[in-house]
Amino acid sequence: SHNNITLPTTTTTTTPHPPPDNSFRVMQWNILAQALGTNTDNFVRCPPEALDWNTRKFRIVEEMLTYLPQFICCQEVDHYNFLERVMERLGYCGVFMPKPDSPCLYLPNNNGPDGCAIFWDDTRFKLLTTQTRVVEVWHVQSNQVVILLVLEERSTGQQLVLLTTHLKARQGALLASLRNEQGKDLLAFVEQHCKGRPVIVCGDFNAEPSEPVYTTMTEASTGLHSAYSFLNDGREPTYSTWKVRGEVDCCQNLDYIFYTPDKLTVEGGFDVPSEEDLGPNRAPSLSYPSDHFALICDFTFKPQLDVEE
Ligand code: NDP
Ligand code: CA
Residue nearest to atom 2 of ligand 1 (CA): 169
Whether 255 is in the pocket of ligand 1, judged by its Cβ within 6 Å, is no
C-alpha span between 53 and 289 (Å, rounded): 10
Average of pLDDT values for 128-155?
Answer: 98
DSSP classification of residue 109: T
Residue nearest to atom 29 of ligand 1 (CA): 103
Instruction: For residue 168, give the ligand nearest its CA.
Output: 1
CA of 241 to the centre of ligand 2 (A): 9
Residue 5 scores a pLDDT above 80 = no
C-alpha span between 182 and 138 (Å, rounded): 9
Residue 302 scores a pLDDT above 80 = yes
CA of 76 to the centre of ligand 2 (A): 7
CA of 67 to the centre of ligand 1 (A): 30
Residue nearest to atom 30 of ligand 1 (CA): 103
pLDDT band at residue 1 using 50, 70 and 90 as cut-offs = low
Q: What pLDDT, on the 0 to 100 scale, is given for residue 18?
A: 85
CA Rg value for the chain: 18
Residue 12 scores a pLDDT above 80 = no
Q: What pLDDT, on the 0 to 100 scale, is given for residue 11?
A: 39
DSSP, collapsed to helix, strand or coil, labels residue 60 as helix
Exposure string for 112-143, b = 16+ CB within 10 A, e = fewer: ebbbbbbbbbbeebeeeeebebebbbeeeebe
C-alpha span between 119 and 223 (Å, rounded): 25
Ligand 1 atom at minimal distance to the Cα of residue 30: 47
Residue 35 scores a pLDDT above 90 = yes
Residue 19 scores a pLDDT above 90 = no
Ligand 1 atom at minimal distance to the Cα of residue 241: 47
Q: What share of the chain in percent tops pLDDT 90?
A: 91
Helices 80-89 and 53-67 cross at an angle (nearest 10°) of 40
C-alpha span between 128 and 124 (Å, rounded): 13
Q: What pLDDT, on the 0 to 100 scale, is given for residue 13?
A: 45
Instruction: For residue 169, give the ligand nearest its CA.
Output: 1
Residue 48 scores a pLDDT above 80 = yes
The C-alpha angle 302, 195, 267, rounded to 5 degrees, equals 25
DSSP, collapsed to helix, strand or coil, labels residue 223 as coil
Long-range interactions of 177-183: CB distance < 8 A, separation 24+: 177/212, 178/137, 178/142, 179/205, 179/206, 179/207, 179/211, 179/212, 179/213, 180/211, 180/212, 180/213, 180/216, 181/137, 181/138, 182/135, 182/137, 182/142, 182/144, 182/213, 183/212, 183/213, 183/216, 183/217
DSSP classification of residue 43: B
Ligand 1: residue of 29, 31, 41 to mutate (most ligand atoms within 8 A of CB) is: 41
Contact, 120 vs 95, CB < 8 A?
no
Ligand 1: residue of 51, 102, 106 to mutate (most ligand atoms within 8 A of CB) is: 106
Q: What pLDDT, on the 0 to 100 scale, is given for residue 307?
A: 57
Q: What pLDDT, on the 0 to 100 scale, is given for residue 21?
A: 82
Question: Would you state the torsion angle of the CA atoms of residues 218, 238, 146, 28, taken in this order, to the nearest 10 degrees?
Answer: -110
Whether 99 is in the pocket of ligand 1, judged by its Cβ within 6 Å, is yes
pLDDT band at residue 28 using 50, 70 and 90 as cut-offs = very high
Whether 39 is in the pocket of ligand 1, judged by its Cβ within 6 Å, is no
Instruction: For residue 143, give the ligand nearest its CA.
Output: 1
Exposure string for 23-46, b = 16+ CB within 10 A, e = fewer: bbbbbbbbbbbbbbbbbebebebb
Whether 169 is in the pocket of ligand 1, judged by its Cβ within 6 Å, is yes
Whether 78 is in the pocket of ligand 1, judged by its Cβ within 6 Å, is no
User: What's the pLDDT tens digit per position in 154-173?
Assistant: 999 999 999 999 999 999 99
Looking at per-residue confidence, does 4 or 204 come out higher? 204
Beginning with the edge strand found earlier in the chain, give each strand of the sheet holding 140-153 in spatial order. 125-137, 140-153, 159-166, 199-204, 255-259, 225-226
Whether 206 is in the pocket of ligand 1, judged by its Cβ within 6 Å, is yes
User: What's the pLDDT tens digit per position in 76-133?
Assistant: 999 999 999 999 999 999 999 999 999 999 999 999 999 999 999 999 999 999 999 9
Ligand 1 atom at minimal distance to the Cα of residue 41: 20
Residue nearest to atom 8 of ligand 1 (CA): 169
Q: Is the dihedral of CA 299, 84, 78, 147 positive or negative?
A: negative
Instruction: For residue 255, give the ligand nearest its CA.
Output: 1
pLDDT band at residue 304 using 50, 70 and 90 as cut-offs = confident
C-alpha span between 155 and 22 (Å, rounded): 10
Q: How many CB atoms lie within 10 A of CB 237?
A: 17
Q: Is the dihedral of CA 86, 91, 97, 99 positive or negative?
A: negative
The domains of the chain, with CATH numbers, are 3-7+18-301 (3.60.10.10)
pLDDT band at residue 213 using 50, 70 and 90 as cut-offs = very high
pLDDT band at residue 285 using 50, 70 and 90 as cut-offs = very high
